[in-house]
Amino acid sequence: MDSRRLLRTSATALAAAGLVLSGCSGGSDAAAPRTAAPAPSSAPEAPKLKKYYEQRLKWRDCGVEGFQCATLRVPLDYAKPDGEEIELAVSRARATGPGKRLGSLLVNPGGPGGSAVGYLQGYAGIGYPAPVRARYDMVAVDPRGVARSEPVECLTGPQMDAYTQVDQTPDDTAEVNALSAAFKDFAAGCEKKSGKVLPHVSTVEAARDMDVLRAVLGDGKLTYVGASYGTFLGATYAELFPDRVGRLVLDGAMDPSLSALDLNRDQTGGFETAFRAFAADCVRKPDCPLGTGSVAAAGEAMKKFFRDVDARPVPTGESRKLGESLATTGVIAAMYDEGAWPQLREALAQAMGGEGSGLLALADSYYERETDGTYANLMSANAAVNCLDLPPAYRDAAAVEKAVPSFEKASPVFGAGLAWAALNCTYWPTPPTGRPHRITAEGAAPILVVGTTRDPATPYRWARSLAGQLSSGTLLTYEGDGHTAYGRGSDCIDTAINTYLLEGTPPADGKRCS
Give the model confidence (pLDDT) of 237-291 as tens digits: 999 999 999 999 999 999 999 999 999 999 999 999 999 999 999 999 999 999 9
What per-residue confidence (pLDDT) applies to 45? Answer: 66
What percent of the chain shows pLDDT beyond 90? 91
The residue that leads in pLDDT, 88 or 7, is 88
Q: What pLDDT, on the 0 to 100 scale, is given for residue 47?
A: 86
Facing residues of 452 across strands? 478
Higher pLDDT, 19 or 206: 206
Query: What is the Cα 276 distance to its own chain's centre?
Result: 22
In whole angstroms, give the CA distance from residue 400 to residue 169. 11
Torsion of CA 45, 48, 49, 53, to 10 degrees: 90
Q: What's the mean pLDDT when you consider all of the chain?
A: 92
What is the distance between the alpha carbons of residues 511 and 63, in angstroms, rounded to a whole number?
Answer: 42
- Is residue 426 within 8 Å of residue 260, measured between CB atoms? no
Residue 33 has pLDDT above 80, yes or no: no
% residues pLDDT > 70 (the chain): 91
Query: Which of helix, strand or coil describes residue 478?
Result: strand
CA atoms within 13 A on the CB side of 445: 17
Interatomic CA distance for residues 304 and 413, integer angstroms: 10
CA dist 270 and 459 (Å) reads: 5
Q: Quick one: average pLDDT of 184-200?
A: 98
Query: How would DSSP label each residue in 51-117?
Result: HHHT-----EE-SSTT-EEEEEEEES-TTSTTS-EEEEEEEEE----SS---EEEEEE--BTT--HH
Question: CB-side exposure of 506: number of CA atoms within 13 Å?
Answer: 22
- In this structure, which amino acid lies at residue 343? Q
Total-model pTM: 0.92
Helix (H) or strand (E) holding 453: strand 447-454
Annotated catalytic residues are 228, 455, 483
Q: In sequence order, what DSSP letters do the residues of 191-225 get, joined into one string?
A: HHHHTTTGGG--HHHHHHHHHHHHHHTT-SSEEEE
pLDDT tens digit string along 136-174?
A: 999 999 999 999 999 999 999 999 999 999 999 999 999
Predicted confidence band of residue 31 (pLDDT cuts 50, 70, 90)? very low
pLDDT at 493 over 80: yes
Task: Write down the pLDDT at residue 2.
Answer: 37
How confident is the model over 445-463, as pLDDT tens digits?
Answer: 999 999 999 999 999 999 9
What is residue 452's DSSP assignment? E
Q: What is the pLDDT of residue 23?
A: 36
Residue from 408, 275, 273, 247 nearest 334 by CA: 275
Is pLDDT above 80 for 18?
Answer: no
Q: How many CB atoms lie within 10 A of CB 333?
A: 27
